[in-house]
Copies of this chain bind each other. A is one copy, B any other.
């Protein structure tokens, strides 16, 4: 029996998936362990893999195969959805010429390597020309997609990370948060001042002990080290592949709290990847949804679960024991106050959940202006610092603590940032629904039993892959579309008296 058009596409996407996995491992390696001198060659290796993938996607027969598969009456719901995703994928890919794909990939690798150095040396001017090249190529490829899909340029870029999202819909939500935020932050800080002073556990905290404690919590959350790793990198991330999920963190010997919560955050991402439907491995329908759903899974673990007083009831004694801690600084109440401490800070990845949206909105507004040509990259440090002052009332003393802190723009991720705060809102909404659906979830947390939560997430979110769009999955599992008031209510409950 000859292969159906759909089967041919599926086989092709299996190959694409394997190439993507190879690239993911190379990318993890670059960020976690590669010697600096290899950056140029690595950039070329990854670019070659991308070029081959690009050619496979836009192969001359793809269009006909998609049309023929559309006529097949034997496709199940998953296959139908897969075919739709393949069509969308093809439409985006055919918009961008191969030489642009290769040039962008190389530019990103080079810029990322220079950024690592420039960031350490607080030398924005050194990385500026590399970043200009990246942005120029990002705009070229975004324009190509925008024309094909009849979208505004920014939305064409945003769609790479968050299919179907529109800045016109994000703007009012973010504007609403921006308006609400200053007064709320004042109230939160006032309430915080009225509570007992936070006591800081005394270090140093040996890195291997921090690592072991992180692993203990990863184990409790269900992370399987037979299918993943925990390593160190400058910018913590979750990489690798669904069968080999690799999370990274960075340790500070004077403060264990940040690396530990970072590990828990990335574990949320990792559990999503591990829970994806194995029957559709390497097919678009078997992949995770857009970045806001991915971030919702990390933020659900970190913000909704692990920064709760219930989680710290379980975690505080373990941390105290691991570090041989003594005194009231190690009490669950104090650690809860520490882990929900709010302050006006410079660094997004260290920000609390109250101020985090401000960091995101700042980046969202700046990247829109840069992409739309309303601002020059050379003016980024000044513009960044001004917005920080406007929104959080503080000015970064260095660009290392300002516009060079994040890898994203330097590595070509433009249109990515809004997904963090969309993810935070989604997390609040999903966790509320899960808690209501299954009381064992909340009951388990103080005992360190996360099985009910993870089972619910696996069956309601993870195993769904990309069968339906994020908005549809959210409505299906929570009963309503994205509702920012759930997020606001969560913040009010946790942070106001």
A interface residues, Cβ below 8 angstroms from B: 15, 18-19, 21-23, 25-26, 29, 33-38, 40-42, 44-46, 48-49, 52, 224-229, 241, 243-244
Contact = CB atoms under 8 A, between A and B. Distances in A.
Contacts of A22: 22-23, 26, 45-46, 48-49
A15 B29 CA distance: 20
Question: Could you say which of A25, A29, A228 has the most chain B C-beta atoms within 10 Å of its C-beta?
Answer: A25
B35 A226 contact: yes
Number of copies: 2
Contacts of A228: 35
A350 to B, nearest CB: 28
B33 A244 contact: no
17 contacts: A18-B44, A18-B48, A19-B45, A21-B41, A22-B23, A22-B49, A25-B25, A25-B45, A33-B229, A34-B244, A35-B226, A37-B224, A37-B227, A37-B244, A38-B227, A41-B241, A42-B244
A186 to B, nearest CB: 47
Contacts of A243: 37-38, 40-41
Contacts of A46: 22
Contacts of A29: 25, 29
Contacts of A44: 18
A244 B18 contact: no
A61 to B, nearest CB: 16
A22 B46 CA distance: 8
A308 B201 CA distance: 54
Contacts of A23: 22
Given A22-B49, A26-B25, A29-B25, A35 B225 contact: yes
A42 B42 CA distance: 19
A243 B35 CA distance: 9
Contacts of A48: 15, 18-19, 22
A269 B60 CA distance: 44
Nearest to A241: B41
A244 B29 CA distance: 11
A243 B109 CA distance: 15
A35 B229 CA distance: 7
Contacts of A26: 22, 25-26
A89 to B, nearest CB: 18
A26 B36 CA distance: 18
A403 to B, nearest CB: 27
